[in-house]
Structure 1
Amino acid sequence: MPYRSAAEHEDVPRPVVGIGNDYPPSFELAEHRHRRGQLLYAANGVVAVSTPQGAWVAPPERAVWIPGGTPHAVRMVGAVQTRSVLIEPSACPALGGACRVVAVSPLLRQLLLSAAEIPVEYDEGGRDGLVMRLLVAEIDRAPVIPIAVPFPRHAALAARCHAFLERPRATATIDQWADALAMNRRRFTRLFRRETGMSFAEWRQQACLSVALPRLAAGEPITTIALDLGYDGPASFSTMFKRALGVPPSRYRP
């Protein structure tokens, strides 16, 4: 499928435009932005989206909502086929102005696949227009999935968060971070929640999940991932994973 960028479709006179692209393994899209919002879905493979505000990972049956105007970079895990829609803000206001991961139902998946095949300037009153309207309705009702790693604006705390994503450890403690930042425990916990909207334990878990998901999709052994993240073994890692996402980590292995 020929490459189609979001920038090519900024001024198309349709509220929703479908695009599809095929990427080789480990391909990266440098930071960019577009006026329309984008629901980015990987029909095959996994996409990892990063913005100045945080990081989001979309494994199978998930998609990332990227609001219009948001600077973002995308990393492909494995060979990836994206099937996305570009949406005018007025067409789906419920998605809001923050990145998020949403569940992709079987119906939404088929609609996303179909949208990528629909001509850009489709007949809004015909069958193609009906598909796009149903697609927006399904996106509007898609449940939000808690896979997010928000970054704080506090410079020293942000630097530590970014470093943690490079080498996440499930055993990291509040006291270790507070000491490293020369803060008492109470000040640190209040700052962390104010800056990220999460407790430290919640954020640490999300960071570990965001690192684990691409590795699982790449076929790495669950035991290796669990030990690398600092878990006692695959059982404790799998328990955390299933509690957070509702399915075992084996669900995300190829």
Structure 2
Amino acid sequence: MLAALAALSRLPRPLYGSEHSLPNQAIGHPHRHPWAQLSHALRGTLRVETERGHFLAPPGQAAWVPAGMRHAVRCSPGTVIRSLYVAADAVPSLSQRCRVLRIDALLRELIQAFSQLPEAYDESGADGRLAAVLIDRLAVAEEAGIRLPWPEDPRLQALCRHLQARPDDRAGLEEHAERFGVSGRTLSRWFLAQTGLNFRQWRKRCRVIAALPLLERGERVTDAALACGYDSLSAFIAAFHEQLGVPPGAFQQEGGAGG
């Protein structure tokens, strides 16, 4: 199915996404295609990685990738995905940048219903009208999720990759800055200029993202906090709530279970 999709030069319909004809799976290597993509997490958490940022879509949310954008999609074990592919000009309001959309109850049901349609659905009949409503609802969907902006400087990229791989790294700002031969203030200023976040803000967001697969696996909140570099459980809960709007325990009960 992946090979058949890659061989397409254009979509057979403006909206394409049959559950039975598309690979509803994450493609973890960088790739691009001439149509937009919506990856919806029915259960589990998706992460879309682009050259300018990483976008996290917990359950009940979806990642939108514009046509032509180089990206990779990764997910935690047990994630259930519904993928839609959308003609580049079908949703002009979403065409310019990658983002995460909130999937409300109506949009979720529309996606589910559409995924059951035949690949060559009748565009002029009821199925085509369903597709048109789905596209209309996507155009007004609320933006949500977490974005981890990615720097362009190769030195900062290397540091960011290290912090992603080792969220329990407790080295402080000054220690990391010393490896660059600059002050902590300068390093933080570099982060702010390239990501819009200072060093501490970026690492806090990175750590919360790293905690999600641990929580989804049912690990204790305390253990997830320690694994992601927090000595204080209360500090971890506060950071998690700040980023996702719910405490980690609620995420496990609601989000991690599929919402």
> What whole-Å deviation, never above 9, does each CA across 1:92-123 have from its counterpart, x for those lacking one?
12223332222111111111111211223322
> What whole-Å deviation, never above 9, does each CA across 1:189-222 have from its counterpart, x for those lacking one?
3321221122223322221122111222222221
Which one is further off, 39-48 or 222-231? 39-48
> What whole-Å deviation, never above 9, does each CA across 1:167-195 have from its counterpart, x for those lacking one?
11485543333222222344323321221
Structure 1 residues 234 and 190: CA distance shift in structure 2, 3 A:
closer
Distance 2:18 2:188 in 1: 43
Aligned residue type for 2:197: M
* SS of corresponding position for 2:45: strand
Aligned to 1:51: 50
List aligned pairs for 1:66-85, cutoff 5 A: 66-85=65-84
Aligned to 1:14: 13
Aligned residue type for 2:226: L
Instruction: Report the alpha carbon displacement of residue 60 of structure 1 after superposing the two structures with TM.
Output: 0.7
Identity rate of aligned residues, in percent?
A: 34
Aligned to 1:118: 117
Aligned to 1:155: 154
> What whole-Å deviation, never above 9, does each CA across 1:129-149 have from its counterpart, x for those lacking one?
222122122222222224122
Which one is further off, 45-54 or 5-14? 5-14
Structure 1 residues 3 and 13: CA distance shift in structure 2, 3 A:
closer
Aligned to 1:87: 86
List aligned pairs for 1:206-217, cutoff 5 A: 206-217=205-216
TM-score by length of 2: 0.85
CA RMSD of aligned residues (A): 2.5
Structure 1 residues 8 and 178: CA distance shift in structure 2, 3 A:
same
TM-score by length of 1: 0.86
Distance 1:201 1:142 in 2: 31
Distance 1:137 1:173 in 2: 47
Which one is further off, 65-74 or 33-42? 65-74
Distance 1:238 1:165 in 2: 19
Aligned to 1:140: 139
Structure 1 residues 224 and 91: CA distance shift in structure 2, 3 A:
same
Instruction: Report the alpha carbon displacement of residue 6 of structure 1 after superposing the two structures with TM.
Output: 4.3
More strand by share: 1
Structure 1 residues 42 and 10: CA distance shift in structure 2, 3 A:
farther
* SS of corresponding position for 2:67: coil
> Do structure 1's residue 199 and structure 2's residue 209 form an aligned pair?
no
Distance 1:192 1:63 in 2: 27
> Do structure 1's residue 177 and structure 2's residue 168 form an aligned pair?
no
> What whole-Å deviation, never above 9, does each CA across 1:65-98 have from its counterpart, x for those lacking one?
1122223222332223211211122111222333
CA contact (8 A) 2:37 2:85 kept: yes
Structure 1 residues 61 and 172: CA distance shift in structure 2, 3 A:
farther
CA contact (8 A) 1:47 1:59 kept: yes
Instruction: Report the alpha carbon displacement of residue 62 of structure 1 after superposing the two structures with TM.
Output: 1.2
Aligned to 1:238: 237
CA contact (8 A) 1:29 1:74 kept: yes
Structure 1 unmatched runs, 5+: none
Structure 2 unmatched runs, 5+: none
* SS of corresponding position for 1:79: coil
Structure 1 residues 38 and 91: CA distance shift in structure 2, 3 A:
same
List aligned pairs for 1:17-32, cutoff 5 A: 17-20=16-19, 21=23, 29-32=28-31
Structure 1 residues 109 and 200: CA distance shift in structure 2, 3 A:
same
CA contact (8 A) 2:163 2:169 kept: no
Instruction: Report the alpha carbon displacement of residue 230 of structure 1 after superposing the two structures with TM.
Output: 2.0
Distance 1:233 1:185 in 2: 23
CA contact (8 A) 2:207 2:229 kept: no
